[in-house]
Amino acid sequence: MSDDRKTARPGLSRPQMAWRAAQDIFDGAYVNLGIGIPEMVARFVPEGREVIYHTENGVLGFGPPPEPGQEDPELINAGKKPVTLRPGAAFVHHADSFAMIRGGHIDICILGAMQVAANGDLANWSTGDPDAIPAVGGAMDLVAGVRRIFVITSHTTRDGSPKLMERCGYPLTGVGVVERIYTDLAVVDVGDDGFVLREIAPGVDVQTVQERTAAPLHVAEDLRTIAAPDGL
Amino acid sequence: MSDDRKTARPGLSRPQMAWRAAQDIFDGAYVNLGIGIPEMVARFVPEGREVIYHTENGVLGFGPPPEPGQEDPELINAGKKPVTLRPGAAFVHHADSFAMIRGGHIDICILGAMQVAANGDLANWSTGDPDAIPAVGGAMDLVAGVRRIFVITSHTTRDGSPKLMERCGYPLTGVGVVERIYTDLAVVDVGDDGFVLREIAPGVDVQTVQERTAAPLHVAEDLRTIAAPDGL
Amino acid sequence: MIDKRVPDVAAAVAEIPDGASVMIGGFGESGSPIELIHALIDQGARDLTVINNNTGNGGVGLAALIAAGRVRKMVCSFPRGTTETRFPELYRAGRIELEIVPQGTLAERIRAGGAGVPAFFTATSVGTPVAEGKEHREFDGRTYVMERALTADYALVKAQQGDRFGNLVYNKAARNFGPIMCMAARTAIVQVSAIVEAGELDPEVIVTPGIFVQRVVEVSDPAIESRLIAQGATYP
Amino acid sequence: MIDKRVPDVAAAVAEIPDGASVMIGGFGESGSPIELIHALIDQGARDLTVINNNTGNGGVGLAALIAAGRVRKMVCSFPRGTTETRFPELYRAGRIELEIVPQGTLAERIRAGGAGVPAFFTATSVGTPVAEGKEHREFDGRTYVMERALTADYALVKAQQGDRFGNLVYNKAARNFGPIMCMAARTAIVQVSAIVEAGELDPEVIVTPGIFVQRVVEVSDPAIESRLIAQGATYP
């Protein structure tokens, strides 16, 4: 977690990005959270909203990681990390777990991304490097089946290349699937005519976000500043 | 049960037909028995053979009917009759129950028939009468999925018309599915070249069986007489 | 807080509109959600498409819904009951449509509907009149027909116990179509003999996870169809 | 009498021939039948096609089977472990084939194999390189790809309890691929922590009915993969 606070420059920290995404999770939602920043989202769901977390390997209704020493190797999530159970949890086999996904029963899935295109295309599994060993896991099933797909990602790569593109250059995970993107700089929706800049991080201006985005941003009329708590 | 013994003329009674079929059920078999005479088969499986009975509505490992007064309306078989459970029984939902059938996991299914053809075609669900209300139930799934399909039927209809035909005249339940037929007169296999007369009821001659069969019978070299117990 | 409990069967079915498609659980009398069906009769929705393995028995439950003229179309495998119903008369008079589906194909189509699989292949019915007009295809030398998924606007299901999340366990052979119909319906409405506290159902033994259930109503002493029929009961 | 119990893991896997296809249960370490896999390493079968979600971890279990050069082809969704394995090296050297299948498609293909469904359609992977070469088809305005069923000669699965009929219950998330792999394999071989008497498992809570299981072997204190790896264990 050492790089959770690496963003000293203006923009949200990783926990702040997760916090922002968490505000969009409604009471009673069935939610699947990807590995990485998406996992953090569960910590920040506003009090009073009851959310049921699904993990691909067949646990519905899991809770936070156990106390150290309480890990059960047979009770893990799709990231292969130990979890706990909440009241109302249920175990299912893998085909039933993906029936929940493919059948449209999960409300929200939040994933990481390598690239997102202005039409909602998502690339998050492969650089297409011929030497890379392909590994898709459940991402293609999630983006094809879950009702609403949200992405949390840094706005650019470490070397400053845009990740929000006119078209993805990397092999796709799904076509036209992403609805909303939470970055360290902004909240961007995928609209009918491409990216819509909905919210912007404190201390960041629209021009900066546009410069770091490789597709036109339509600025929402009611553009707002993200009010993430300090100190996250 | 009043007509169980209606065959005063030579030939097997209905329980004797069931008895004969029961001799072909091997130890450890998973078996689905149709409504009518097939249901009786379970009574006559030789001692020492453990058989697991499957019913389409999702009970694996059911036992005989309960004592009067002990019926449970939520514990019935596909014929909607009360059953009991044997040790090792399990309940499954309908899709899983038919996965057992369609997936080839059931060893033997014994069904009634309206007509059976010399190529193994079976007709047992409709006369094709335009006024009849069609009703297929699980028969088409059973004949398509179960490994071995046996038929128990009277050799002819009440009015003496053959039920073992060159071709079925009634709408089919399945194509080329029947392996063996147990009638009141004979045990007939469906071979590569049509019907093979394997066994014959006591007091019945080959010519009589052939006359009541609307397709050629190849008489097995080792034609045997069925040794069904008397008094059944 | 997630709370899928509703106070009574009338509230549970209140919004079902005319023209809705409704999967009704049960195989024969086992698992038949009689109280929900009777509430639907009281509620008055018409022109329903009903998916059930059969067409009900006697003059109660599904048979009563059909007798009341509320069902435009039945999708089932075996439109016969253990006791006489008005279905044959309505069918012969052209007042109710019938789609005959082999029982295992019906179950698999419903399961596919719930699992987001739009179509699949099965060997069931190949060479029979039921396969006529369906797409045929060979895989590894065997012929199959393509079948489409079945979904519905609503499911009415009976289970044994449920909790506020909609988690369910069933009673013996009453399980039958319940789990897959809950999956395949946009709104699954379940009557249970007992609502239990959250966490009381062991996660290892829950048969239907709550994600597939939208409403749970307690009917603590559900009617037994064969006893109603033996008493000559009819509904309403 | 039906008795699917075998005395030990060596007897359980003894007949698996060279070239067999073997589904191996488990997701990461949960549900991994380590003792059966190690018995298979001892047994010596080669040129195996292995179906598992991953490619194992460290130097034990599936990773050890791969490292021993026994696997000709892997069918999986995510050929990476939580710890380093020899898979990448063997793959880059062209010494092991890889068929990448999205995780849910993998599960559904296995389930289809067990349920006698030769092929089905899914929206998963449409528009991605994984869908290339697959048949595409539109249903109700959405595009799907056709996927074929997966079956195997054998399955190696870990469960919690079993009886002489092969009925099984699992332990928490270790359930994962076990139930569907038992369905899809011609011979499903299951290690359980405890064999119980016939009738001891409640018919309502059995997850895998014995009809899907051919052999049951008791491994009363199964190894925990992550602990073996933390200890630096390798096999053999």
Considering the domain boundaries, does residue C215 fall inside one? Answer: yes
In three-state secondary structure terms, C37 is: helix
Q: What is the pLDDT of residue A189?
A: 98
Indicate whether B232 belongs to any domain. Answer: no
In angstroms, the CA D28 to CA D62 distance is: 10
pLDDT for the residue B8: 54
List the CATH number of the domain containing B182: 3.40.1080.10
3-state SS, residue B24: coil
Say yes or no for a CB contact (<8 Å) between B90 and D183.
no
* Percentage with pLDDT > 90 across chain C: 97
A7 pLDDT above the threshold of 80:
no
Q: Residue B1 falls within a domain, yes or no?
A: no
C140 touches chain D (CB under 8 A): yes
The total number of structural domains that make up chain A: 1
In a domain, C141, yes or no: no
In a domain, A230, yes or no: no
Which of C117, C136, C161 is the best substitution to test chain D (most D C-beta atoms within 10 A)?
C117
For chain B, 232 residues long, give each residue's pLDDT as a single digit of tens. 344 444 457 899 999 999 999 999 999 999 999 999 999 999 999 999 999 999 999 999 999 999 999 999 999 999 999 999 999 999 999 999 999 999 999 999 999 999 999 999 999 999 888 888 989 999 999 999 999 999 999 999 999 999 999 999 999 999 999 999 999 999 999 999 999 999 999 999 999 999 999 999 999 999 999 999 988 8
Answer whether C173 sits within 8 Å of B172, measured CB to CB. no
Question: Does the structure show a pLDDT above 90 at A9?
Answer: no
User: pLDDT (tens digit, 9 = 90+) per residue, B158-176?
Assistant: 999 999 999 999 999 999 9
Which residue, chain included where needed, has tokens 């899914």? D122
- Interface contact B144-C108, CB threshold 8 A: no
**How far is it, in rounded angstroms, from Cα B18 to Cα B41?**
5
Tell whether A8 is covered by a domain.
Answer: no
Structure tokens at B38: 């097939």
Higher pLDDT, residue C163 or C85:
C163
Please indicate, yes or no, if residue A4 is contained in any of the structural domains.
no
- The amino acid that residue D108 corresponds to is E
User: What does DSSP assign to residue D234?
Assistant: B
pLDDT of residue B204: 96
Helix (H, G, I), strand (E, B) or coil at A142: helix
Tens digits of residue pLDDT in D34-78 = 999 999 999 999 999 999 999 999 999 999 999 999 999 999 999
Q: Is residue D1 part of a domain?
A: no
DSSP three-state, residue A43: helix
Model pLDDT for residues C89-141, shown as the tens digit of each residue: 999 999 999 999 999 999 999 999 999 999 999 999 999 999 999 999 999 99
Q: How many angstroms away from the CA of D82 is the closest CA of chain A? A: 8
pLDDT of the residue at A131 = 83
- The model's pLDDT over A34-68, given as tens digits with 9 standing for 90+, comes to 999 999 999 999 999 999 999 999 999 999 999 99
Backbone angles phi, psi at B221, to 5 degrees: -60, -35
> CA C10: distance to chain centroid?
18
Judge whether C135 and C145 are in contact, CB under 8 Å: yes
Task: Say which of B39, B47, B50, B56 is annotated catalytic.
Answer: B56
Q: Residue C51's pLDDT is what?
A: 98
Q: Do D111 and A95 touch (CB under 8 A)?
A: yes
Instruction: Say what the pLDDT of residue B157 is.
Output: 96
Active site residue A56: yes
What is the percent of chain D with per-residue pLDDT over 70, rounded to a whole number?
100
Report d(CA D162, CA D170) in Å as an integer: 9
Measured CA distances, C189 to C10, C199, D159 (Å): 11, 21, 33
pLDDT band at C81 (very low <50, low <70, confident <90, very high): confident
CB pair distance less than 8 Å for C199 and A102: no
Which is it for the CA torsion D64, D66, D71, D74, positive or negative?
positive
What domain count does chain C have?
A: 1
A35, A58 contact by CB (below 8 A): no
Q: Which residues of B touch D179 (CB under 8 A)?
A: none
Closest by Cα among D170, B20, D187 to D179: D170
B102 vs D: CB within 8 A: yes
pLDDT, tens digit (0-9, with 9 covering 90-100), for B55-75: 999 999 999 999 999 999 999
Residue A174 lies inside a defined structural domain of this protein: yes
Please give the angle made by the CA atoms of D109, D112 and D115, to the nearest 5 degrees. Answer: 155
Q: Please give the distance of CA C135 from its chain centroid, rounded to a whole number.
A: 27
**Chain A positions in Cβ-Cβ contact with residue D171 (cut-off 8 Å):** 74
Which residues 128-167 on chain C approach chain A with CB closer than 8 angstroms?
163-165, 167
Instruction: Find the CATH number of the domain harbouring C179.
Output: 3.40.1080.10
pTM comes to 0.97
Dihedral sign from CA coordinates of D215, D221, D226, D229: negative
Domain ranges, residue C220? 9-117+150-230
Q: Detail the DSSP E strand segments found in C177-219.
A: 185-195, 215-218
Q: What's the gap in Å between the CA of C1 and the closest CA on chain B?
A: 30
Contact C124 B72 (CB under 8 A): no
Which other chains touch chain B, taking contact as 3+ CB pairs less than 8 Å apart? C, D
**Nearest CA-CA distance, residue A145 and chain D, Å:** 8
Residue D115, chain B, CB below 8 Å: the answer is yes
What does the mean pLDDT of chain C come to? 97
Encode pLDDT of C19-34 as tens digits. Answer: 999 999 999 999 999 9
Phi, psi of C97 (to 5 degrees): -85, 160
In a domain, C38, yes or no: yes
Mutation site, A32, A60, A102, A147, interface C, largest C CB count within 10 A: A60
Whole-number pLDDT of residue B208: 97
Nearest partner of B179 among B114, B122, B103, judged by Cα: B122
Q: Quick check: is B131 in a domain?
A: yes
CA distance D76 to A158: 30
Q: Is C104 helix (H, G, I), strand (E, B) or coil?
A: helix
C residues 173-192 lying closer than 8 A (beta carbon) to A: 183
Q: Measured between CA atoms, how close is C214 to chain A, in angstroms?
A: 11
Note whether residue A185 is domain-resident. yes
For residue B216, give its domain range: 14-225
Residue of B nearest to D149 (CA): B103
Q: Which residue of D has its CA nearest to C112?
A: D120
- Split at pLDDT 50, 70, 90, the class of A8 is low
C-alpha to C-alpha distance for D209 and A63, rounded to whole angstroms: 30
Cβ burial of D204 (10 Å; 0-12, 13-18, 19+) is middle
Q: Is A41 in CB contact (< 8 Å) with chain D?
A: no
| Residue B129, phi then psi, degrees to nearest 5 | -55, 125
